[in-house]
Structure 1
Amino acid sequence: MKYKMQEKQNQLIERISDRHLVVGVDIAQQVHVARAVNFRGIVVGDPLSFENNEEGFTRLLEWINRLKTIKNFDTAIVGMEPTGHYWINLSKWLYEQTIDVVTVNPHLVKKNKENRDNTQSKSDKKDALVIADMVKNGYYAFIRPTSEAFEKLRVLMSNRDVIVKRLVSSINQINRWVDVVFPEMRQVFKDVKGKGAIATLRLFPTPTELRSMEAQDIIKGWKSLMKRHAGYKKAQSLIELAKRSVGNQQAHDAYKLHLEQLLEEFDLATTQLERVEQEVTNVLQQIPFAQKLLAIKGISEISLAGILGEAGDLSGFAHGNSLLRHGGLHLAEASSGKWKGQIVLSKRGRSRLRRFLYLATMSLVMNNPEFKELHSSNVKVKKMKKMKSIMKLIGKLARILVGMVRRNESYCPEKVQPLTPIAA
């Protein structure tokens, strides 16, 4: 099946009929603003400002119903920008009231601000009107309602990103601390976040403490924290390196306090990361098709959870190309007359979905025989650049994932292998 975006655009325009009341809502933290137009863009009624609570939402619904009655509209469609997290509660509340809710791209709203009055002016009322105009012109996307499991994955993976950033930050600061206070420690422990290095930093981090110790004392300390310790030779090396260390010799009490806090942050982030990833595993077990997707060699639970958390139920996508568009991985071209511009990725979509599709594809290229062969064929036979081959394989992965879920099929390696050239 060939996926054509123009057909989808035509369908979105045709959905808006002369019986529709088109409402645009400018989202804010506390007070939203709504404007309404008909299918031709003629303004209907006065603007409405309403609070971000149940009373305000009820006022919006009464306002919509009143305009429908006065102007003889049969149905209403409400468009809004997905601004931060402020739009989520309103969209879900309207969805529960059986009102069609759609979103518009904030970038396009900014581009269309001058269409109404040919000025660069900006206000909440004007923004709401611009959003309503975009909806009646078909520049909108329906909100994809997700089940409990997919919502959990989205929240968990968002939380995981925050935890990973904190963990990486604490590791980087521990590395800096070692470089300043005891740089020779790297000659014994190559990885500062390894068990042996972390145990040493907990017990006797500064060279001053190590100089007055015996190797057996260090080993005894390691045994209190680890079942398998680094050994006598490394303990002796630490003592000898500490005696001729060029690390900072001042303010050791302040440095030790700083290190204690860094290790506390490291421990907390590590524990939280393990807990979140265990919960991700539990949620994936609740999704029927997840195990079939995990059977693909090279697909990890974290990559799949990131894809499903952002995309939701893959059976809702008509084609793999629509999944790519959802992540902003479709192509954009700038050409005019004889001049042909460069074709680039639009990146108008979910950045986290792009990231996990890329990471999953890189893992497949390294671990999956079929994708490894495809990548090799692209680079060596078709003379593609490596990154262009990866982008092409991302599209193939998207089509495989959507196809497997829609047809409820298992992974078939024979369908993925490249065609062998016919011998002359």
Structure 2
Amino acid sequence: MKVTEKIVEVNANHILNIGVDVSSRKLDVHFECALQINKREVYREQIKNRSDEIEKSLKKYLSVAQTKGFLNLRIVCEPTGPYSINLLAMAKHLNCLTAYVSGEAVKNSKVIEFNGTNKNDLVDAEVINSLAERNKVLIHRTYSAEYTRLRILNSHYEDIDKAYVSSRNQVHSTLKQLWPDWSSKKSILYSRTGEALYKCYGLNPWKIVSHNYSYFAKRMRTHCKGVWSSTLKQIYRDAELSVKGHCSDASSTLESILGDHYENYLRGKQRKASLKDEMSEILSEIRQEDPRIPQARKNFISEFHIARLLAETGPLSDFSNLDQLNKYLGLNLRERQSGDYQGKVRLSKRGRSLARKVLSLVTLSLVRKKHLYGPDYHRIKTEKDKPGKLLMCIFMKKFLKSFFGIYRSNQSFDPRRLFIDRGKYEKLNSPIALEAVI
């Protein structure tokens, strides 16, 4: 028999936990105070999700807490995005403690508390309070103004990027109807040549062939200097094929629709460039407060991706070890085992999904054949026949470990350190080894 010790946390600070179920218009509140060993006084209330109503109620709860011998309140709720802003901001304003509970924990705890899965707001508030009493809570992190702005801009950049990709898809889809014989690469549409073609002709083949090739080539070179003759000849030839045997009745309508999509693409491109510059400026401000943040390095990570990653993680100083950071991003492993059954070990994916996307974008450029992780990635994929998705997860974790290690050690990035253990690396950088190299 294996006997171990387990530390049970005691509410030594005499904190009164207030469980709150948050919705867009109202808050359901539940908390309890002990009267005797087997008797508790239960408080339930429903208030409007407005700052003035919340302030009035919290002051009332503080008065009750002082009467019952508590020193402070701890406001506990689920992370519900914008709907919990009023509650948590007012709690901080009144110097109350705050914490989150996992939505998944609330859902599963209802089965334990009530032997069922019924869903209503009063039940949710009671379960939240029960989890808080057992200290099954998550930290409610508050950020500086720079980190707050960075996270908001990163979320906005993601929305702009999705709209940008959608507009490009719609451009190509509409172009296939207007210009069915387009045979050039898609990338030409989004280059200087494509922008000149849109500006001069609205990407309408009927307008292009309304003049001879010489006029077309001269006009295009006026708006796009350096364009290749072979490219212009192919575009003109495709335009001639597209108008041959086709009716032009719908061309003006399709041109108008295509113009809307292309304008959306141009706006998205401009807005993305502006957001990149703004986020990089905020990152430089954060570096003044925390100079340990790794510097951008070619073939490792760019300044913009550092800004996006920090927007999701928040201050790296909040994490005492790599395991905490992995759990926060959902990169920790989830096991499935019962008796003789042994399921696959997968990522939990319970953390910030956007952070994992940013990590995948960074890692994707590093696993190319001639890049940092490329040789190892392709060797393992070939020799061990591992799926690319699994290897991407492995190298995402490897990159995060390197990035966090650079921050904690406050040293510059050294690619040699990635593929050897600590002992070999220290021998490699020992004075004797350096003298031999010199």
Task: State the TM bucket, normalised to the shorter chain.
Answer: 0.7 to 0.9
CA 1:359–1:37 in structure 2 vs 1: closer, same or farther (change >3 Å)? farther
CA 1:398–1:188 in structure 2 vs 1: closer, same or farther (change >3 Å)? closer
| Alignment check: 8 A CA contact 1:314 1:401 kept | no
**1:154 shift after superposition:** 0.7
**1:398 shift after superposition:** 2.5
**1:81 shift after superposition:** 0.7
Say whether 1:87 aligns with 2:75. no
For residues 50-89 of structure 1, the C-alpha deviation after alignment (integer angstroms, 9 at most, x for no partner) is 2222212212321321221232122322211111321133
Structure 1 residue ranges without an equivalent (≥5) = 1-6
| Alignment check: 8 A CA contact 2:293 2:407 kept | no
Alpha-carbon distance in 2 for matches of 1:84, 1:266: 29
Q: What is the match of residue 36 of structure 1?
A: 31
Shift >6 Å, 4+ stretches: 39-42, 380-383
Alpha-carbon distance in 2 for matches of 1:401, 1:258: 45
Alpha-carbon distance in 1 for matches of 2:266, 2:385: 47
- 2:196 equivalent among 194, 199, 206: 199
Alpha-carbon distance in 1 for matches of 2:12, 2:168: 57
CA 1:378–1:14 in structure 2 vs 1: closer, same or farther (change >3 Å)? farther
Point out the more displaced range, 172-181 or 336-345. Answer: 336-345
Q: What is the match of residue 256 of structure 1?
A: 255
Structure 2 residue ranges without an equivalent (≥5) = 425-438
In the comparison of the two structures, how many residue pairs are matched? 413
Q: What is the match of residue 214 of structure 2?
A: 216
**1:242 shift after superposition:** 2.7
Counterpart residue identity of residue 30, structure 2? R
| Alignment check: 8 A CA contact 1:297 1:368 kept | no
**1:365 shift after superposition:** 3.2
Percent of aligned pairs with the same residue?
A: 23
CA 1:236–1:348 in structure 2 vs 1: closer, same or farther (change >3 Å)? closer
SS in 1 for 2:182: helix
Structure 1 segment 239-388 matched on structure 2, within 5 A: 239-245=236-242, 249-288=248-287, 289=291, 292-295=294-297, 297-366=299-368, 371-372=373-374, 374-375=376-377, 378-379=380-381, 385-388=387-390
CA 1:253–1:379 in structure 2 vs 1: closer, same or farther (change >3 Å)? closer
Alpha-carbon distance in 1 for matches of 2:314, 2:181: 49
Alpha-carbon distance in 1 for matches of 2:117, 2:315: 40
Point out the more displaced range, 316-325 or 286-295. Answer: 286-295
Say whether 1:109 aligns with 2:96. no
TM-score of the two chains, using structure 2 as the length reference: 0.84
Alpha-carbon distance in 2 for matches of 1:303, 1:42: 55
Alpha-carbon distance in 1 for matches of 2:114, 2:185: 70
CA RMSD of aligned residues (A): 3.1
Alpha-carbon distance in 1 for matches of 2:149, 2:158: 14
CA 1:230–1:385 in structure 2 vs 1: closer, same or farther (change >3 Å)? closer
**1:227 shift after superposition:** 3.1
Q: What is the match of residue 4 of structure 1?
A: none
CA 1:59–1:89 in structure 2 vs 1: closer, same or farther (change >3 Å)? same
CA 1:291–1:103 in structure 2 vs 1: closer, same or farther (change >3 Å)? closer
Counterpart residue identity of residue 137, structure 1? R
Alpha-carbon distance in 2 for matches of 1:405, 1:96: 33
| Alignment check: 8 A CA contact 1:22 1:36 kept | yes
Say whether 1:147 aligns with 2:149. no
Alpha-carbon distance in 1 for matches of 2:191, 2:335: 48
Say whether 1:74 aligns with 2:76. no
Alpha-carbon distance in 1 for matches of 2:13, 2:269: 57
CA 1:44–1:59 in structure 2 vs 1: closer, same or farther (change >3 Å)? farther
SS in 2 for 1:276: helix
Q: What is the match of residue 52 of structure 1?
A: 49
Structure 1 segment 157-236 matched on structure 2, within 5 A: 157-187=154-184, 191-204=188-201, 205-231=203-229, 233-236=230-233
SS in 2 for 1:14: coil
For residues 354-392 of structure 1, the C-alpha deviation after alignment (integer angstroms, 9 at most, x for no partner) is 111222233333389664455467557777554434323
State the structure with bigger RCO (CA 8 A, min sep 6), 1 or 2: 1
TM-score of the two chains, using structure 1 as the length reference: 0.86
**1:29 shift after superposition:** 0.9
Counterpart residue identity of residue 172, structure 2? N
Counterpart residue identity of residue 216, structure 1? S
For residues 132-183 of structure 1, the C-alpha deviation after alignment (integer angstroms, 9 at most, x for no partner) is 1112223211112212221121111111111111111111111012111112
For residues 279-326 of structure 1, the C-alpha deviation after alignment (integer angstroms, 9 at most, x for no partner) is 111111112247634237421233222221111011110111211100
Say whether 1:390 aligns with 2:392. yes
| Alignment check: 8 A CA contact 2:17 2:73 kept | yes
